[in-house]
Every structure is written in C-alpha cells, then in structure tokens.
Structure 1
Amino acid sequence: MAKKKSSSGQILTRLFNQNGVKMILGVVAAGSFAFAFGQEKIQQFVASATPSNSACLDQFYRDVPPYLMKDSLNKHSYPLCFNGFNVMYSGVSKTPLWVAEALTPERLSQKIPREDSFHEEPRVAQEHRALLSDYRASGYDRGHMAPNADMPTKDAQFDSFSLANMVPQAPKNNQQVWRELEEAVRALATRQKQDVYIVSGPVFAAKKLKTIGRGVIVPTATYKAVYLPKTGAIGAYYAPNDNSLQVKIVSVCYLEEQLGINLFPQLTEEQKRNTYNLPLKATAVKAAKPIDYSHWDAESQCAEEVDNSALQAMQKQFKSAGGTSSHAQNQDAASGLDASAQDAIVKQLIEALLQYILQLLK
C-alpha cells in the first residue's frame, strides 16, 4: 500500500501537475527568504532587550571588574550584568558588595524621567534574595548604589530599581549626603567633559551587624570610589550609614583594606595611594578647574595584585553567567520567545505562505 502523502507533498504534486516549475522555485526562494528574514528579525528583537556581553565589560575601567580578595566574600556571590551597570551581589548580606558603572558626557546627556519600579531580582536564588517586604517599615531607605539619575535608557532605569542594586540606607544618608555625592560625580563628567569610572557599595565594619527583614544586613557605611582617566584624579567617598550627614574623602587603598576587595585591579598601588579633593557637591565642580591633589596615603594596606588568569576568569563570568538583565528576563517571559518558540513562529509563517500560493493556483 502506498504511503499517504504529506500535506507538503500534496502541495508540490499539485504545483507540478499545473506545470508550475517556476512557481515552485519561487516558493522555495520565498520560503528560504522568509525563514532567514523572520529568524533574523526575531533574534534581533530578543537581543535588543538584553545587554550584550561586550557591553557588560564596558562598565569597568579597561574592561576589568573589581576582584573579591577574601574567600568569605565569594560565598553565595552572584556576578550580575545590568543595562548601564554591573553588580557583585552577596547572598549572605543580601546586598551588593560592589556596583560598577562608567559615566560619560554622552550617557548623561540622556534625561529619563524617574519612574519608580522597585523589584526583587529573579536571577538570585529565593533563599539569597532581598525582598520588598524586608525593607517595609524597617526605618531604612532602599538606597541605590548605581543611581537612577545615571541611567540613559528606560531599560537601564528599570534595572536600577532591582533590589540587587540596593542597600538599607539611613534616610538622611540616602536622601541628602548620597544624593549630593551622586550629583557631584555626574557634574565631573558633564561639566569637565570626561569619563568617570565608579565603584560603589556597602561597608560592614562592626563586630555585630544589624539586619532587617529576613536577614538583609545593614551596612555601617557606604562608599563610592572614583577614577578619572583623563586627569588621573582618584579617591573615594566614605559616609557613615546614619543620619549624621558626615562624609570623608579617603584613598582607594584605605577602602580596599576595609573591604577586602581590589576595586581597580587595573591601577597600580602608587595610583591608588593618591588622594584628590573630590567635590562634595555639584556646585563645587568648575568646568575649567581640575580637582586639586590632597595627599598620599602611606599607611593603608592596598589590595594585593591579582593574577591575570584570575581577572580573565572574572571577566568570563560577566560575559556569560551575568549577561541578562532582570528587565530582559521579564520581557522574555512575557513574550515567550525562546529558541523553540522562534522556530514555531517561523514555521507558521512559511506554512501560511505556502497555503496562500496554493489558493492562488486553484
């Protein structure tokens, strides 16, 4: 018994019977084009919602991430790439350990109206994840480490409201001191027309640390390390996490000793001991006036140099495991455009094209 012909076979037979060799060639060409065109467009749509691997490394000076020098800091750590900034998140503290971003005059020329969208980070395991309920009625703000006002796109703005970018911050520290420091750093980029590389995060310096919610650790201070390659100016802000409105400027080496993190592995110890008088407010930044030198820190213990192979391994983590933002994940979940879905859509398009041509031949 002859096998039953498939629907595709029936279509081709009918086309041959009607002497439609040219039409068949047209169908094949059209189908191939539709498949290639459709698949390319779908892939572009998905790719446009996610930060590229290379874009992740752009947030680091010379593409090199900060490096955790203490083994204890690596426990339950998550390297996360977002649109416009990167995070090394700790499942122990349920906060970032550091947040890195690169500011340029071009990036800050994009003004995005603020739209609050605080959310939990889906790439972090449930048991390590900070929750919105952790901060509720805690007495602490959800303090951005990479600020919303630094973000050049809607996707980046959304990502900045991930709790992976937050620490419990005392209200006056967050709303006044931290805000003024963020404005001052942006002014360095916009008024002096130079790139600024920043690493921000929490300091956990007390023997007994306070927690909120299900174990989100409250930092004793917040820091913001700043490097300006154009002039070589460098230094760090150090602000106690209370309502005292205090802030001091320290060397990067001072911070590295406190944190156990090599904040700028690309820089030499000599560079990181230099300390400049970083502006405390945006009004202190003048377009034609470089930042004054302050002092050389001869006392602090700088982080040890990191082997190139270890740095390359860290780069790979951000180029692979940390390459999808929470916004992109939400979009992918909503659209369902995984690989199998893409294939199904393209096949439906081709089948519809064949059916249309068949109708024309009837």
Structure 2
Amino acid sequence: MAVRKRKTKKSWVQYLNQNSLKIILGLVATSSFAIAFGQEKIQQLVTLPAVSNSACLDQFYRDIPPYLTKESLKKNSYPLCFNGFNVMYSGVSKTPLWVAEALTPKRLSQKIPREDSFHEELSIRPEHRATLSDYKASGYDRGHMAPNADMPNKAAQNDSFSLANMVPQAPKNNQQVWRELEEATRAIVTKHKYDVYVVTGPVFATKKLKTIGQGVIVPTAVFKAIYIPKTGAIGAYYAPNDHSLQVKVVSVCYLEEQLGINVFPQLTEEQKRNTYNLPLKANAVKVNKTIAYSHWDAESQCAEDVNADALTAVQKDFKSSSAGSQTASTTETKNTTSSLDSDSQNAVARQLVDALLQYILQTLK
C-alpha cells in the first residue's frame, strides 16, 4: 500500500509539471469569464427596461424587440404591430426584415381553418409597398414568415396574409423545407408544453440580388431563430432560398453576423453562442425527450449589445404602431417586470455552466 501511494503521488507531480501552463491558463480563463459574465451580463439581464404591458409587446421575449444594428437597414423601415405577430418591414426590400411571434400551448390549441386572403398592406406608403402584381407569374411563392397555422383567431389569420408578412420564396423551399420547420416548431410547443419565442425572416447575403415585380428583393436564404426560456434551448434554422432542400441549424450569433440584426437583445452573448439540436421535422420531437445541446459557437461575430435607451425607443415604436387591428384580446396577457422570472434564472444558470465548460475546454486545447 505504501509503494502504491508513493507511485500515485509521483504521477500527480508529473501531471502537474507537464500540464502546469494549461492549468494556469484554464484558471485565468475561468476567472475572467466568471467576472465578465457576472459583472456585466447578469447586470444587463436584470436591468433591461420594463414598460407597461401591451398586447403588441407580448410577442417579444421580455417585451424587447429585435434591434437593427446595421444602419442601412433602418432606411424606410416600418415597425408594424399585427394580431398575433409583429413585423419590422423594409420599404427598400419591400419585405419584412424580421417577424416575431410568441407561441404558447394555449395559442396553438386554437385550430383555425385556413382561408387565403392575400392582400397589400395599406399602412405602408405606396412607393414602399409590395403588391399582389409583384408576385404574379414571378416563379416565387408568397412565403409567410409568421405562418397561417400559428394564428389563434380569424383576425390574426387575416393579418398573416398581409404582404408585409411575405417574402418571395422558392416553391420547394416554401412548400417542403419551410413547412416542415414550421411544423417542427409548433411540435416543440404542443408536445413539450413550452412557450417558444420565434423570430423569422429573410437573409440578403450577396451584393447582386434578384428582384421581382417593381423591386421586391428575393432573399438568398430564410431563417427562423428559436428561444425556449424554460430550458434555455436556443438556435436558428438557416435554409437557402432555392430548390436544394438544404437546411442547417446555426447559432444565433452566426445569424446575427449575416443579418446585421440583434435578434434577441434580451440575451447575453454567451447564451447566443450556445446551439441546440433543433428538430428538422415534427416527428423528431418526442414528448419525454428534451432538445439536446449541440455546441458553443466560438467563431461567429455576435451583434453588439444594445443600450437600454435604444431598446426603450424601439419598444415605443411598436407600442405606437397599429397595423391591422391589434387589440389586447388577441394575445395572452402577462405582467412585465424588470427582473428575471424563475425559468429564465434557471436557464441562464444552465447556459452559464455550458458556456463555461466550453470556454475552459477551448482554452486547454
């Protein structure tokens, strides 16, 4: 036994001698990470601006809309508050830049038979407005960003057929890949009984972009970002807007780098680097199986943090906008506070641990 102890002690000494630099770097990295997260990020989460409750703001996680960090995107932009979803519309592309929805089990329990009612959005100036004739014989579908099947009532369904909620979408992408991703997203809500916050929109990733009609720009890809406060699961679907039937799951930071938009300004960079294995089809969602963690994205450039004053200004834009016929009865009411709820606190804690482990492992490589 004595010999065995001396051998063990010697092996530990050898290990420490051989790995001392890595251990020191790991401890330094861990301390730096904890300090940065604890002092800045948690403070940011706790002190996000609180505003009076509005049915329009209910569509955003903690009432905070996505934020346009790229200045050129703000030109001729329209914040539009619809029944059951919100839109940041661009008069330049004549499409939404993003569309936000809060999906809940209660909302999706309402089954509304589909009634097509495609229409132009009259709240947008004529020169910035997409028209029905723009899409006619274009070879592209009028692709919903907030899908009809997500809508809880007739008013919301009618609003979902506004062209302000549409992008020119390749038929195979719209009718197969995108349909399956929309079904998978709803399955997460209905099977797991989770509230899910969704931001959907187009990607314009090349300098030379195709247009249809009188200047409606065709996206190079479409995205759907998802955040589940109950578990902290997060990620984004990214699908080329063509007939390739391709789709991949990326981090929100990857998405933000492509878009010039802070998709979830309520969340920290560490949260948005986490990526989960989002299901590609509804049958991949199992009732008793949570969405698994995939990886931490250390490469992508996340959007810059947005200060509280700027976020408050965007909130006010949506509170004062009135596209469609938004009423307080169209969405579920909630109380807004300046502190994190228990689910969010637990999610942040889990994500901190995940991100910290990833950070340490990368440092020790």
Q: TM-score, with normalisation over the residues of structure 2?
A: 0.75
Say what the alpha-carbon RMSD is for the aligned residues: 1.3
Asked if residue 78 in structure 1 is aligned to residue 73 in structure 2, the reply is no
Which residue of 2 is the match for residue 111 of structure 1? 111
The one-letter code sitting in structure 1 at the alignment partner of 2:202 is P
Which residue of 1 is the match for residue 62 of structure 2? 62
- Asked if 1 retains the 8 angstrom alpha-carbon contact of 2:81 and 2:324, the reply is no
CA distance in 2, matches of 1:170, 1:295: 30
The one-letter code sitting in structure 2 at the alignment partner of 1:191 is K
CA deviations over 1:279-331 (Å, ceiling 9, x no partner): 000000011100011110000000000000000000000001x1x233579xx
Which residue of 1 is the match for residue 95 of structure 2? 95
CA distance in 2, matches of 1:295, 1:71: 31
Which residue of 1 is the match for residue 41 of structure 2? none
4+ runs deviating over 2 angstroms:
324-329
Unaligned runs of 5+ in 2: 1-51, 328-365
The one-letter code sitting in structure 2 at the alignment partner of 1:72 is S
- Aligned pairs for 1:218-257 (under 5 A) are 218-257=218-257
Q: Give aligned pairs, total.
A: 276
CA deviations over 1:195-218 (Å, ceiling 9, x no partner): 000000000001200000000000
- Asked if 2 retains the 8 angstrom alpha-carbon contact of 1:212 and 1:218, the reply is yes
Which residue of 2 is the match for residue 325 of structure 1? 323
- Asked if 2 retains the 8 angstrom alpha-carbon contact of 1:53 and 1:318, the reply is no
Which residue of 2 is the match for residue 124 of structure 1? 124
Identity %: 81
CA deviations over 1:33-76 (Å, ceiling 9, x no partner): xxxxxxxxxxxxxxxxxxx9700000000000000001100000
SS at 1:54 equivalent? coil
Q: 1:134 and 1:327, CA in 2 relative to 1: closer, same or farther beyond 3 A?
A: farther
- Aligned pairs for 1:1-362 (under 5 A) are 54-320=54-320, 322=321, 324-326=322-324
Structure number with greater CO (CA < 8 Å, separation at least 6) is 2
The one-letter code sitting in structure 2 at the alignment partner of 1:236 is A
Q: 1:275 and 1:328, CA in 2 relative to 1: closer, same or farther beyond 3 A?
A: closer
CA distance in 2, matches of 1:325, 1:192: 32
The one-letter code sitting in structure 1 at the alignment partner of 2:150 is D
- Asked if 2 retains the 8 angstrom alpha-carbon contact of 1:53 and 1:319, the reply is no
CA distance in 1, matches of 2:203, 2:278: 20
Which residue of 1 is the match for residue 29 of structure 2? none
CA distance in 2, matches of 1:53, 1:208: 42
Unaligned runs of 5+ in 1: 1-51, 330-362
Q: TM-score, with normalisation over the residues of structure 1?
A: 0.75
Which residue of 2 is the match for residue 344 of structure 1? none
